[in-house]
Structure 1
């Protein structure tokens, strides 16, 4: 399965990391320690979004606060003292988000084994019927709606605190060709938004014959390591052939999956 996806002569894995700079550098360092080559190319940067008064009101008045990413934690801490969170029911979407909260001195954190919205909804505190209890979801701008929709159906009053936004970087039309020349044969994708941007850059915008041939390579030969079943479903809808699920966006989950891909080549 993987042999056809390796374009370089040595048949070795060469991974494109598209996470924001800090996360990309941490992952790249860990991959270097296990001799897996990679190229860092963040697709976007973070910018703070919410105003301090809104943040203070939502994080102070609501007893249940759900953080859906490490970045949601980092930007929220710039707006309000974490001391006001210690007596709340704090819920993290996954292990990395939980660790970010623990580094702030918050220890009583609920976290599902399945690191996504579906996993959050299996937690007893979120799987019950609510009687107009307020819940705050701390996220980036234009995040997924499934969690809030389900909690609302269960009777909760859900409000968003959008603590940051993603500002997409601009790329030249030949970025796909550049990645191919760098012998990229595996791409790590940790969100649907990143996947859709990559599809736009590697497949959708390709009009000339050479570009179309490159698009066929990305679609049918490159290995796409994705962080969840939801992203995998979207990837297959775009016609991607080699889609591997890492079962989480945390660094360890990604590294373990890349090891498996490397060993299977």
Structure 2
């Protein structure tokens, strides 16, 4: 009997998942969208315009931070600061808002940001980190040690979507989902919680694609043993890595 085509589970926020689903459909790859979080405005969003106006360097750690912040002051970002994005997707979001000079590290994580020449001599400079409700503590810690004046601005929050696992997980299994795309530690934690108990063996036997070695290590410690790390967090990078992973699995 011929094996049913593999189906990929996409756990990013809805718009991003749908975009990736469309990219995969062009390649004949089945995908199911199931966001685990929704993006909502953060508690500090009303303060972002004042914080950005007085900053020397602005670092955005996700495109959601740029989307939310830009909506507050009608996308009129000041010209004076140096703009730094954690990766190409965040850079592209800024460019959509007419911020064209955006620095991006070769490595799309806190360590990569800290290696940038623009963040070496920062003593006395005011650095604002646009983020969600938590994260990037290493970045702030290291910049503070370099004597920068560092402030966080919580531009958005990830709010958990309530899901019925007793119905949802069997549906995924019926759709032959055996590859999971998880792009944050929060998504990984929520997915594990959703499958706790009866569905754990299915979860940990599935292939997992993620976007950083840190998340891959968390997944390995949790029990996953088929883990791949994408070259980036953009949907284009995820698609390219997924195609490699699925083609390799098909031929093995």
TM-score normalized with structure 2 length: 0.93
Structure 2's unaligned 5+ residue stretches are none
Kindly report which structure 2 residues correspond to 1:1-265, keeping only aligned pairs within 5 A, or say none.
Answer: 10-51=3-44, 53-126=46-119, 128-174=120-166, 175-202=168-195, 205-206=196-197, 211=198, 214-219=199-204, 221-264=205-248, 265=250
- For 1:51 and 1:189, the matched residues in 2 are separated by 27
CA contact (8 A) 1:114 1:247 kept: no
Cα distance in 1 between the residues matched to 2:12 and 2:90: 15
**Please, what TM-score do these two structures have when normalized by structure 1?**
0.89
- DSSP 3-state at the match of 1:38: strand
Q: 2:9 is paired with a residue of what secondary structure?
A: strand
Secondary structure in 2 matching 1:83: coil
- What SS is found at the alignment partner of 2:32? strand
State the 4+ residue runs in structure 1 displaced beyond 4 angstroms: none
Separation (CA, whole Å) in 1 of partners of 2:215 and 2:6: 22
Instruction: Check conservation: 1:52, 1:80, Cα contact below 8 A.
Output: no
Instruction: Check conservation: 1:45, 1:166, Cα contact below 8 A.
Output: yes
Q: Cα 1:145–1:254, aligned 2, differ >3 Å: closer, same or farther?
A: same
Aligned CA-pair RMSD: 1.6
Is the alpha carbon distance of 1:144 and 1:181 closer, same or farther for their aligned partners in structure 2, counting shifts above 3 Å?
farther
Q: Separation in 1 of the partners of 2:146 and 2:5?
A: 49
The DSSP-based 3-state class of the residue aligned with 1:85 is coil
Q: Give ranges in structure 1 of 5+ residues lacking alignment.
A: 1-7
Whether the 8 Å contact between 1:227 and 1:246 is mirrored in structure 2 is: yes
Number of aligned residue pairs: give it.
248
1:138-162 CA distance string (max 9 Å, x none): 0111233221112112211211111
Contact 2:4 2:176 in 1 (8 A): no
Secondary structure at the residue paired with 1:142? coil
1:81 is displaced (CA, Å) by 4.2
Q: Deviations over 1:62-103 (max 9, x none)?
A: 110001111111000111244343221000000011111111
Distance in 2, Cα, partners of 1:258 & 1:162? 32
